[in-house]
Amino acid sequence: MKSDLIDLEVQIHARTERAILVSDDGDRERAVWLPLAHVEVAPNGRYHVVTMPEWLALDRGLI
């Protein structure tokens, strides 16, 4: 069975109770909001690894 979850390395620019503002290239101008209800976040040095459904990454233009 194929999983629809993917891992992406991102930089977090802002955080609220419900979402994080992330970019995959460190450019805040191109950052997108991800709802925390749909993602898991793990630190990885100065970046973070975000696990999310593939549909969400496609919808936000991260892949």
Domain annotation for the chain: domains and CATH numbers: 5-59 (2.30.30)
Q: Which residue has the higher pLDDT, 45 or 1?
A: 45
> Which tokens is 28 given?
């805040």
pLDDT confidence of residue 3 = 76
What is the residue-wise DSSP string for 3-62? --EEEEEEEEEEE-SSEEEEESSS-GGG-EEEEGGG-EEEEETTEEEEEEEHHHHHHTT-
Report pLDDT digits (tens) over 33-58: 999 999 999 999 889 999 999 999 99
* Total count of residues recorded for the chain: 63
Q: Taking all residues of the chain, what is their mean pLDDT, rounded to a whole number?
A: 95
The pLDDT assigned to 42 comes to 97
| Residue linked to tokens 């936000």 | 60
Q: Tokens 């995959």 belong to which residue?
A: 24
**pTM of this structure:** 0.91
